[in-house]
Amino acid sequence: MSEVTNTKSDAQPLPNAALISALQRIGIAGSFLLLFVSVLVSAVKPSALGGIVGINGVWIYSVAVAFFSIQHTWLRASGLFGRADAVSPSTRWARFAFLCMFLICINAFVTTARGLTHWGIVAGHDEPQYYAYLHSWFFDRDVNFENELKRIPGAWELMSEAHPERPEYNVAPIGTAIIWVPFYLSAHLVLLTLHALGESVPTDGIATPYAFACAFGSSVCVWLGMLMIHATLKRWFSERASFLATALLWLGSPIIWYQIDQPWMSHATSFFAAALVLWIWARTFEHREFMGCIALGAAIGLALLGRPTHAVLIVLPFADFLRALRRGHGAGKVITCLVSTLVVCAAVFSLQLAVWYFRYDWATQGINTPPGSPMAWTHPAILEVLWSAHHGLFAWHPVLLAGFIGLLAFWKRARYATLCVGLLLAGYVYSNAAIDAWHAGGSFGMRRFVCVLPFMSPGIAAFGVWSVRFCRKHYMLPISVLIALFFIYNALLMVQLRSGLTAFGAPVSFQQVWGASATTLHDTVGNPFSWPANLLFAAKHNVSPSQYDVMGGVPFTPDIDVQGPALLPFLGTGWQTDYVNAYRHKGAFLAQAPHNELLLYMHKGHAYDLNLSFSLPTLMTTPQQAVFTLNGKKLGEARLEPNAKSELKLFVPGDITVEGTNILSVDFATVQQTTRTGSRGEGGGHGLELLTRKPYPAAAFIWRIAVATHYDTPQTK
């Protein structure tokens, strides 16, 4: 899409417009520099240099940057500049909007980091590893990280637990640290200057101001990445569609967390590298010259230095190679382009090999690399990585679903680009789902897909354009959906009053009303953004789709100890599973059939100790016999006595467990049919009797389920 030239025949050039524009740019640069210094200072003291920089300076200089920028944008977009502008006014205003979003995120980062509830700076297992490279390179001039990890509170302890044989391991790739280098060195120069001017600031290369500089760099990476995505989308979409799709990607995806809350992870920098690859590739795949091949190879190499899953990007030069041959381009030129791209990519990635060479002393110890993530190439967890409540991509951030289904609409605009983007998305899904720890541990959404966001942007833009056109043409559909939503809202109010989730005659807050409506809706249909995974789970086990949230694709330890409403996700067929009756029964759920099932997540080959708590309904005066079977293998029997809680202990041998959901069957000898009295439940109370009321089957109440891994005895009986 060509840029629009900004000319106005009736606009008179502003006198000295070039000088004014230059002064505005100086104002932007100066304010930006003072903003950066204020961010550094805010990590250690309220202010410095007599109050010129500091905590308050973060928002003051953010406003100053925005003030000079809006003037500059208006001048260049108004036609008063005096000469033709290669950038359209709409593009300039879009760039200004992205700058404002960046400034807001910087202020949010400083506010959040200084908040009392913030969990830590450069905390956890991964972040110290990325950060340790910088001090080791520029201060120690080595690749030994023991002293860095010991100086970051908690890092050495975590590494000792994760790698007891070699806690000084650094398994992090170097790409993130390389991208941080300009910000890190700039921070060191600023801090040395402040120290020379008499300010008490650290200059040791590892204190919090240096970490804040890296966080600032991560935020800049997101900003620049979004600018490149916006510029790329304009090749296929209008200015408005490109801007809205980019803004939606920024504000509705997990990347904003890794810009504000965890900027010391690799995701922001890896996103930047992927956006750079997309920008270079989209600009050059039609007519790529030699320098374009070099640039693409370098960008892919940089991406590979950030995250290994970016190996998928090798698809692009090979696809371009095949396309060029098919179009009859010269074989020599095409081969030269492919080879040069791959050679430059390998040359950039050789920086990682060099670090490993010195880190692991390949000269004397032989080739050795850090341990990688265990992979399950033959059974990737694709459903889970996309729809699981445990950070599933679409379940946590449903807007990203448009990045996939929107490719159907994008196909009509750019078939080759759609094919390449589709191959990349499929490759990223497969490679991330094949990681044994597909859930990515501690994660805001599916964090490993943050670096894939640039390749979702064309689908998001195409889906948005198609949606707007469809709604304009078929306006009755959105109106009907709106009517249906109001009806569902009203029906949910009726259900919660009818069932007693909300008091009928007492004051209630809308927090309670909306919470009860959300609970009722979720119990009925589950999370719509986990469809179809939760619907398949519900059909398989004859339960509510909502139970998939806890039971579907659980990646963590199977050990649980739950009671009250927390029992619900583990109840299979045969149980009364609504919260209202559980509350009436003081947190116990009722078995209503001779055969009842409990859903328990276990690991194959592991033995477990089960602790279950049951009681009998008050109207049941004789003992109840119960038989327990796991996956068709009998575990034991128990006799439940009336008017007492029965605490049962069962041993599950490892040779009968399967990986994932295990079915514990509970079969009761007797199911008693009772009848409710009164018009409002069992309390006997209000209105005339309804003699045809359905009978109320009851076998036993379950109060508690506890599952603990068994370590002390053999895995089989």
pLDDT at position 80, please? Answer: 72
How far, CA to CA in Å, does 187 sit from each of 105, 149, 184, 191, 360? 19, 21, 5, 6, 30
Tens of pLDDT, residues 298-354: 999 999 999 999 999 999 999 999 999 988 888 888 999 999 999 999 999 999 999
pLDDT at position 10, please? Answer: 54
More confident residue, 184 or 329: 184
Gap between the Cα atoms of 552 and 389, Å rounded: 8
Gap between the Cα atoms of 641 and 625, Å rounded: 9
Amino acid at 387: W
Strand partners, 598: 571, 664
**Mean pLDDT of the 121-149 span:** 93
Tens of pLDDT, residues 637-658: 999 999 999 999 999 999 999 9
Average pLDDT in the chain: 90
Tens of pLDDT, residues 488-506: 989 888 888 877 788 777 8
User: 186-195, 206-215, 272-281, 282-291: which range is least confident on average?
Assistant: 282-291
Q: Measure the CA angle with vertex 235, ends 232 and 239; round to 5°.
A: 85
pLDDT at position 713, please? Answer: 53
Residues sharing a CB contact under 8 Å with residue 223, sequence separation 6 or more, in sequence order? 98, 99, 101, 102
- Kindly indicate the confidence band of residue 688, based on its pLDDT and cuts at 50, 70 and 90: confident
Q: Retrieve residue 147's tokens.
A: 């002293």
In this structure, the number of other CB atoms found within 10 A of the CB of residue 34 comes to: 19
* Superfamily in which the 556-709 domain is placed by CATH: Galactose-binding domain-like (2.60.120.260)
Q: Retrieve residue 38's tokens.
A: 């204020």
Q: Measure the CA angle with vertex 43, ends 38 and 49; round to 5°.
A: 45
Tens of pLDDT, residues 400-451: 999 999 999 999 999 999 999 999 999 999 999 999 889 888 889 999 999 9
**680, pLDDT greater than 80:** no
- Kindly indicate the confidence band of residue 8, based on its pLDDT and cuts at 50, 70 and 90: very low
Using the structure block, give the residue that is written with the tokens 């120690």.
Answer: 140
More confident residue, 330 or 516: 516
Gap between the Cα atoms of 94 and 112, Å rounded: 27
Tens of pLDDT, residues 232-267: 999 999 999 999 999 999 999 999 999 999 999 999
**553, pLDDT greater than 80:** no
Percentage of residues in the chain having pLDDT higher than 70: 95
pLDDT at position 151, please? Answer: 93
Are 14 and 75 a contacting pair, CB within 8 Å? yes
**694, pLDDT greater than 90:** no
Tens of pLDDT, residues 563-594: 998 999 999 999 998 877 887 788 899 999 99
**387, pLDDT greater than 90:** yes
- Kindly indicate the confidence band of residue 686, based on its pLDDT and cuts at 50, 70 and 90: low
Gap between the Cα atoms of 178 and 198, Å rounded: 31
